[in-house]
Amino acid sequence: MPATVTFPELEADGQTPLTEAQVANFYEDGFLVIERLLSKDTVARVAERFEPLFRGDFPTGLYPDEWNWQEGRDSPDRTRQICNGWKSDPVIAGVVLSPLVGRLCATLAGWPGARMAQDNVLWKPPGAKALGFHQDESYIQWVVPPQYLTCWIALDPTSRDGGTIEYVRGSHLWDLSPMVEQFHAPDDYRHAMQEAASRAGATPDIVQVEVPAGSCVLHAGRTWHGSGPNLGDRPRRSVVAHCIPSNARFHRENISYIYSRYKRAGDDAMDESFFPVLWTQDGYRSAFLTA
């Protein structure tokens, strides 16, 4: 498997940098903002990989699992997305597979540890359209238990006009909805969320996250979130780590048309080569991440 780049601020130090108040806020709101998780140098190093990646420059020689925007093929007003960029680029891997990201996700979810399910490399240039509101756990029904906790990291300062990520406070307590019908460039990016709010008898309390570059938001798998169009004059780039419990297994009947290809015949165990363990309470981490 490809090596990862090491960023000092993301190495585990034995103590979770979360206060009791932060944990309490996460359970109440369904998300938690942590400013300046990454240093300026790390932000710059990760951001400079975006243009090469979307041109198909993959240092490891491996294609990502999903490459949803390519120059000359797709409309320039679409948000650009790569899924599992960690397999293609050691710099991306150094962030999303870091022990700190795993530890933060496992701590807030109450898991014994965290492993990577899928990452996102997201680039919303000026003029790009919205991404529809959704719940992440609608997309993880091929895993047992079907639980997500996500770390979204901004590589540019975010703003309301710039299509920043938006959350609905307390929506992690709503029922799970199906996958949204239109994720990329929907006509009304809040439509599915508004319908879910109506079913829950709730008035959506929408928070548009405005943070400096290098900041992160951790959110629960059922928290409704999405983002509007980028009406600003600078890009909105981010990397995202979608974590699942370290003891997760494949569902025996539910299939992901992309990720179930990594399931071995007659075995529901998740191979760490494709779903690496980032951190556990007893200090375990997939061997190739520490090589």
Q: Cα separation of 174 and 194, whole Å?
A: 12
In 49-101, which ranges are E strands? 66-67, 80-83
**Burial status of residue 106 (CB atoms within 10 A of its CB: 0-12, 13-18, 19 or more):** buried
53 pLDDT higher than 60: yes
C-alpha–C-alpha distance, residues 197 and 89, integer Å: 39
What is the pLDDT averaged over residues 97-110?
Answer: 97
Contact 192, 180 (CB under 8 A): yes
Domain boundaries, the chain: 23-265
DSSP state of 104: H
At residue 14, does pLDDT exceed 60? no
16, pLDDT greater than 70: no
Using DSSP, how many helices (H) and how many strands (E) does the chain show?
7, 14
Task: For domain 23-265, give the fold.
Answer: Jelly Rolls (2.60.120)
Confidence class for position 212, pLDDT limits 50, 70, 90:
very high
39 vs 213: CA distance, rounded Å: 9
Mean pLDDT value of segment 195-222: 98
What pLDDT does 291 receive?
67
Flag whether pLDDT at 146 surpasses 90: yes
Residue 13 pLDDT level (bands cut at 50, 70, 90): low
Residues 6+ apart with CB under 8 A from 226: 130, 131, 132, 133, 134, 165, 166, 189, 190, 193
Whole-number pLDDT of residue 143: 98
Tell me what pLDDT residue 207 has: 98
Average pLDDT, the chain: 95
More confident residue, 12 or 231: 231
Q: pTM of the prediction?
A: 0.96
Q: pLDDT digit string (tens) for 240-266?
A: 999 999 999 999 999 999 999 999 999
**Burial, 20: exposed, middle or buried (Cβ in 10 Å; 0-12, 13-18, 19+)?**
exposed
In this prediction, residue 17 carries a pLDDT of: 73
How many angstroms separate the CA atoms of 3 and 92, rounded?
A: 11
Stretch 231-237: mean pLDDT, rounded? 97
* Under 8 Å between Cβ of 133 and 206: no
Q: How many CB atoms lie within 10 A of CB 265?
A: 4
pLDDT at 42 over 90: yes
Find the mean pLDDT for residues 92-114.
Answer: 97
- The predicted pLDDT at position 11 comes to 86
* Maximum separation of any 2 CA atoms in the chain, in Å: 52
